[in-house]
Amino acid sequence: MNYTFQFGVALQQLPGLLQGAIVTFELGLLTFWGGALIGLLGASLKTFGGPVLRRFAGAYVIFFTNTPALIQIYFLYYGLPDFGIRWDPFTCTLIGLTLNAGAYLTEIMRAGFISVHRHEMEAAETLGMSLWQQIRFVIVPHIAKTIYPALANFFVVILVMGTSVGAVIGVNELTGQAINISTENYRWIEMFVVVAGIYVVLTLIASLSLALVGRWAFRVKAKIF
């Protein structure tokens, strides 16, 4: 093997890579919250909706969880221009990932919905709460604790697996930056090893913070109830 490692060069590029990491985080956060809203809606439809709405939500979930996120993004990036809609890579990735995440989050939220006992919902109903109010004041606080681990884990998954997909169409998140810089300095192996390391650190920080927030939030929640 006639290749001399030059990690120094790669480490010099850290600022550029960290910029990519910021984009990764942005993408992850936006995707997660967007997906969570979709998930809440989807879970509501699936639990409380009439047969048509339930079927629709179900089809959405089944379709988006059985097709690759990359293809969903390609469809937006290469398909929409046929109809005159040209979104930039970041937007395509964001929307594609959000729709994808929404499907998985629908199932996570639905599991939480199901765990709420009928009695609590009925009690809230007799108190005059509308369905939306019931969801907001009875279900969400109740399940927030139980599905928090699943949500936290899913966020880290989006961060790690989801966002890197954007690099394929040129989004400057962490992996994308690694590609950009490597095409200039030809230090592919070193760059990607460093990037792998950054991903590990990033996800560890995210997991740890979420775990700590979870512990803090639980205690606060307990006091309120």
Of 19 and 207, nearer to other proteins (C-beta) is 207
Q: Report, in Å, the least distance between residue 161 CB and other proteins.
A: 5
Candidates 51-59, 146-154, 185-193, 209-217; binding stretch for other proteins (CB under 8 A): 185-193
For residues 216, 218, 219 and 225, what is the CA-based torsion angle, rounded to 10 degrees?
150
C-alpha to C-alpha distance for 162 and 93, rounded to whole angstroms: 9
Residue window 72-101: x/- pattern of binding to other proteins, with contact defined by CB under 8 A:
x-xx-xxxxxxxx-----------------
Q: Specify the length of the chain in residues.
A: 225
| From 25, 140, 192, 217, residue interacting with other proteins (rule: CB under 8 A) | 192
- By CB under 8 A, tell whether 30 contacts other proteins: no
C-alpha to C-alpha distance for 80 and 68, rounded to whole angstroms: 18
Residue closest to 78 by CA, chosen among 60, 62, 96: 96
Q: Check: CB of residue 143 under 8 Å from CB of residue 109.
A: yes
Q: Dig out the tokens for 122 from the structure.
A: 């009925």
| From 168, 185, 214, 217, residue interacting with other proteins (rule: CB under 8 A) | 168
Give me the residues that bind other proteins (CB under 8 A), please.
1, 3, 62-63, 66-72, 74-75, 77-84, 160-161, 163-165, 167-168, 175, 178, 188-189, 192-193, 195-196, 199-200, 203-204
